[in-house]
Structure 1
């Protein structure tokens, strides 16, 4: 299948099968915004969850660089601040398909 024939979600899933990546890294690779990557990743998660394969979307949570907080309610999100210390130094979640 040519790359032009693949959907954005197929390209996202293929990229996540190769190596873990953050939404910003995937946004550059797929020519999307990081928030669009998150929305597409939610759909990819649902589609592979119901598939006959045993794959799943794994998410390493965002983490505050200042206090280490990683208990965010929504792991597949791009938080702007830490709810604990209010720092804006928060890493993005890392996504992968295994």
Structure 2
């Protein structure tokens, strides 16, 4: 059960310190929408910048052609820009 005084971003950061996770897994764990997780993740990434921690992102990757050079890592691409496949894995976030 989350602490009453803990913010959503604190809960997100704590979850990412525990283990790497995709936006949809975090949404389920924190009872948020995937879009909300992505918006909060952007702020969490900025808040750990300049500390001894790092916000790391394993980029989304196309399961068909392997493309993983997406411009916006804090986004859920709907299809691959190379082969147009919709089989794209979500990015994975962690804080180390």
Partner residue, 2:30: 30
Give the superposition deviation at 1:56: 1.2
Partner residue, 1:13: 13
Partner residue, 1:71: 69
Partner residue, 2:86: 88
Runs of 4 or more off by more than 2 Å in structure 1? Answer: none
Q: Distance in 1 between matches of 2:3 and 2:28?
A: 16
The partner residue of 2:52 within 54, 59, 69 is: 54
TM-score, reference length from structure 1: 0.93
| Long gaps (5+) in structure 2 | none
Q: How many residues align?
A: 95
Which secondary structure state, in structure 2, belongs to the residue aligned with residue 3 of structure 1? coil
Q: CA RMSD in A?
A: 1.0
Q: Distance in 2 between matches of 1:4 and 1:89?
A: 39
| Long gaps (5+) in structure 1 | none
